């Protein structure tokens, strides 16, 4: 093997070793896109819930609360694109994310009990404040 080929082969091995655990050609959603496409529509469903009658309405709310949890995991890491990775290391960022995820868990237990009042309270008292607090600290202005 000629030296140049050998160097290329070694570079190839080094790149393979440095690659992430799964192939990811695209950086994925950024923080704003997570907010606009996942967090806002799902929390709006929870906040707008009233006069819930059917199983499919409860199921839709359950899915919304679970989706907030899933997005919380992404937010906690600073977003898949990593732009907020530095901020995500801060204690307050982690606390706001944890509060939001805890609120989603409260919503889930209210939903499991088909308890509309508990769902309303979880939405207003628990789910809303972390949005406000995190935005006050971190929304770019
Ligand atoms: C841990 C921090 C954090 C939490 C919690 C959080 N957000 Fe955000 N949110 C951000 C950041 C940072 C941005 C700005 C992203 C950017 O533009 O780079 C943002 C942006 C947004 C935007 C877009 C605003 C705009 O006009 O650009 C919406 C809507 C939004 N968030 C909704 C919510 C809601 C609703 C909640 C609560 C259920 C929430 N967010 C919780 C950090 C957070």
Q: pLDDT tens, 22-72?
A: 666 677 889 999 999 999 999 999 999 999 999 999 999 999 999 999 999
Distance from residue 19's CA to the centre of ligand 1 (Å): 30
Quick one: pLDDT at residue 80?
Answer: 86
Q: What is the pLDDT of residue 108?
A: 98
- Write out the two tokens for 3: 């030296």
Q: State the average pLDDT over residues 102-113.
A: 98
In this prediction, residue 75 carries a pLDDT of 96
> What spacing in Å lies between the alpha carbon of 73 and ligand 1's midpoint?
14
Pocket test for ligand 1, best of 131, 136, 140 (most atoms within 8 A of CB): 131
- Indicate if the pLDDT at residue 11 is higher than 60: no
106 vs 13, residue with greater confidence: 106
CA distances for 105 relative to 12, 72, 88, 101, 137, angstroms: 45, 11, 21, 6, 24
Are 130 and 99 contacting, i.e. CB atoms less than 8 angstroms apart?
A: yes
CB-neighbour burial class of residue 52 (10 A; exposed 0-12, middle 13-18, buried 19+): middle
Higher pLDDT pick, 128 / 9: 128
Counting Cα atoms < 13 Å in the Cβ hemisphere of 79 gives: 19
**Does the beta carbon of 70 sit less than 6 angstroms from any atom of ligand 1?**
no
pLDDT at 97 over 90: yes
At 13, the pLDDT band (50, 70, 90 cuts) reads very low
Tell me what the pLDDT averaged over the chain comes to: 89
How many C-beta atoms lie closer than 10 Å to residue 122's C-beta?
24
In the predicted structure, residue 10 carries a pLDDT above the cut 70? no
| Cα–chain center distance at 14 | 32
Above 50 in pLDDT, residue 110? yes
What percent of the chain is modeled with pLDDT above 90?
Answer: 76
The full length of the chain comes to 141
């Amino acid at each position: 093997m000629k030296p140049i080929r050998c160097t290329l082969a070694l570079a190839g091995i080094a790149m393979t070793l440095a690659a992430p655990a799964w192939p990811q050609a695209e950086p994925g959603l950024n923080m704003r896109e997570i907010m606009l496409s996942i967090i806002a529509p799902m929390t709006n469903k929870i906040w707008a819930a009233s006069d819930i009658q059917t199983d499919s309405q409860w199921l839709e709310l359950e899915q919304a609360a679970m989706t907030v949890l899933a997005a919380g995991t992404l937010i906690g890491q600073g977003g898949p694109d990593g732009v907020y990775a530095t901020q995500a290391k801060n204690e307050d960022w982690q606390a706001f994310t944890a509060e939001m995820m805890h609120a989603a868990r409260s919503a889930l237990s209210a939903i499991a009990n088909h308890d509309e009042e508990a769902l309303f309270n979880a939405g207003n008292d628990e789910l809303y404040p972390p949005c406000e607090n995190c935005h006050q600290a971190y929304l770019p202005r």
